[in-house]
Structure 1
């Protein structure tokens, strides 16, 4: 979560002209009361205390009770204020769309999807996505869809709304048998009256752009068409990239761009164009995240950047310098263009028919992907009045 990701993204987007004439709104420093719609007061107090050096708890007890002080969630000065600021950015984006002043908004600093009610997890202190969704529900919305394309399962958001039929959460992630947090199985479908509103599409390691897109289009659009959300919230973590040091998926920036464009199409087709996009994970902080999230900003703004576009000499020089200052595990040198030469020409899923894979895709990889597609469709499609076996649904 090195903040150089954000600085390099904004620098690249600005250098490519993506931000020309666009209003940039600083995140609001919200009151603690805005956090309590999701987080417990005891947890908020603990975060504030450890971040100011006044905590009565420390060490293993602090980690056991609140998840603070671990390797993933280290204590640092001002962590309460920093976490609250990330929430303020996503909340401001949601409020802007809700007010009707804009149709789309993006906060690349958001996407802290692992944070639980009273527990930090996975580099996430406060869950900005959940806070924004709850604010929407408290202010008249009754159908909110959340789509998470981070490599890790969007467990915090799913947990927050697993029993709320007003919220549809869809997470596409690396298979939980192979990656932390070990949740997000297709059988996790929500609880009570909300069964079917938690959707998990688990993908095996090394899944490519074409297979990821095949899976997305085989599951997501039909669910959105049935649910008809009033607004779409998307978490667009960049750690699905093949060069990410913490995950094992094999997307390129080209594939991530295609995924973002698919989300835009879904927002326009099924959510009246109302879309809030946030960042998330991504640990190739120099070579991947700035390009991926520049594409995210450009997609939200309808200023698509071609993948062959050079990053520019000035930004490349800046990124090389930054790479020397970042831990070597996360600082591969920058690329020179806005794409990786990825192939995003996917073949649509046609049902469980043993479809032969196209050139460049192995039978094993396609079979594994199709098995995941069917597992998800069979778990939730009937609960939405859809036929899991029929590719037309």
Structure 2
């Protein structure tokens, strides 16, 4: 009998690290796994290594051969005289995405995990699968971008299309537009991409506008819900519910793949959206409901962005797994009951955190200053909602 949910993780994912001062820090995975263990939601026995896949099986589905060759060379010859020239050709020379030793293998491990999660769901071995190291949604077939070397989400979707012929709905809740995944499937009518994010007028990657709807046969299978800076919880959730429910009803997917970047939180240092942990409790609950309504429960969840790695990411990512597994803690939070973070987890990590750690799973509303332009922001987001769904 299939299990309800499978947790995919490989320790090799921790090798995906650009440097000590870089905001993309794999410590956030360790913090999340440790938190889940402390609340008895995850055991070592429940954590599965991804299956063994060859590079040809995975990377060639999305990425160009010359790009793969360059990544492998830069992973091994980091001090070569030719490295900087090669890096510039393929987007691996910037402060955001600099090449590093072991880059290829670490990124390949992440891709393997996302494909393994997809296989677990599509073969019926599990209804849901979670791979928190995944969600590197900015990488392109021919270049790196935005902390992302290989696009594991796009590879997993291509694998599903090739191996199972299923219609895929990709849902991206990262504060940054899921550009890499969108462009890979921009002409594919069997892959619908939906991204809710801070408008590209002010935030990387500068795309994700409502007029980006797909091309050729894929026209009408691409949806973007750009939000005004300083959008708060209620407007964020309204925009998500109004648009996503229309999209999924029209597209009728066979499987959902979701990306759970948690950088729309007010504490996140790399964006301007002003949400709290409220949306990160609601997002997985909504997706869980929609998966059982539209896809017979088939749901693959990936990680993504999130750069307040102590106060935000562990709670947000844990809530995905707690919801997937129907954990009592998720049910208590959904009922509005006060839930405290475990003392042992707080004690273990408080000395490393640059900020005082929250004591509760949900934020105290008084800890996040409300925005004075709330009504104006909400009205602008409502106007955008109507544009997103006007043709459905």
Asked if 1:227 corresponds to 2:251, the answer is yes
2:76 corresponding residue in structure 1: 52
2:389 corresponding residue in structure 1: 377
2:322 corresponding residue in structure 1: 298
What is the deviation of 1:362?
Answer: 3.6
1:311 corresponding residue in structure 2: 341
Asked if 1:103 corresponds to 2:127, the answer is yes
Asked if 1:334 corresponds to 2:334, the answer is no
Deviations 1:89-120 (A, max 9, x none): 11100000111110000000000000000110
2:165 corresponding residue in structure 1: 141
Asked whether the equivalents of residues 122 and 164 of structure 2 are also in contact (C-alpha less than 8 Å), the reply is no
Task: Tell me the C-alpha RMSD between the 2 structures.
Answer: 1.9
Question: If the length of structure 1 is used for normalisation, what is the TM-score?
Answer: 0.87
2:278 is paired with a residue of what secondary structure?
helix
1:265 to 263, 270, 289: 289
- In structure 1, C-alpha distance between the alignment counterparts of 2:365 and 2:302, rounded to whole Å: 23
1:364 to 364, 367, 376: 376
What is the deviation of 1:56?
Answer: 6.7
What is the deviation of 1:142?
Answer: 3.5
2:106 to 82, 85, 99: 82
Most deviating of 49-58 and 180-189:
49-58
Asked whether the equivalents of residues 77 and 83 of structure 2 are also in contact (C-alpha less than 8 Å), the reply is no
2:230 is paired with a residue of what secondary structure?
coil
Question: If the length of structure 2 is used for normalisation, what is the TM-score?
Answer: 0.87
- In structure 1, C-alpha distance between the alignment counterparts of 2:198 and 2:192, rounded to whole Å: 20
- Aligned CA distance change for structure 1 residues 51 and 195 (closer, same or farther; 3 Å): same
What is the deviation of 1:232?
Answer: 0.2
Asked whether the equivalents of residues 236 and 279 of structure 1 are also in contact (C-alpha less than 8 Å), the reply is yes
- Aligned CA distance change for structure 1 residues 239 and 95 (closer, same or farther; 3 Å): same
Deviations 1:196-254 (A, max 9, x none): 10100000111111111100111111211121111000001010111000011111112
1:248 to 272, 275, 278: 272
**Aligned positions of 1:21-32 closer than 5 A:** 23-28=46-51, 30-32=53-55
- Aligned CA distance change for structure 1 residues 342 and 256 (closer, same or farther; 3 Å): farther
1:320 corresponding residue in structure 2: 350
- In structure 1, C-alpha distance between the alignment counterparts of 2:65 and 2:365, rounded to whole Å: 46
2:140 is paired with a residue of what secondary structure?
coil
- In structure 2, C-alpha distance between the alignment counterparts of 1:315 and 1:138, rounded to whole Å: 42
> Where does structure 1 differ by over 4 angstroms across 4 or more consecutive aligned residues?
none
What is the deviation of 1:21?
Answer: 8.8
- In structure 1, C-alpha distance between the alignment counterparts of 2:261 and 2:35, rounded to whole Å: 18
Asked whether the equivalents of residues 286 and 333 of structure 1 are also in contact (C-alpha less than 8 Å), the reply is no
Asked whether the equivalents of residues 74 and 87 of structure 2 are also in contact (C-alpha less than 8 Å), the reply is no
2:352 is paired with a residue of what secondary structure?
helix
- In structure 1, C-alpha distance between the alignment counterparts of 2:207 and 2:87, rounded to whole Å: 20
What is the deviation of 1:361?
Answer: 8.1
- The answer for unaligned runs of 5 or more in structure 1 is 324-330, 344-359, 387-393
- In structure 1, C-alpha distance between the alignment counterparts of 2:98 and 2:145, rounded to whole Å: 10
Asked whether the equivalents of residues 255 and 342 of structure 1 are also in contact (C-alpha less than 8 Å), the reply is no
What is the deviation of 1:18?
Answer: 1.2
1:284 to 308, 312, 318: 308
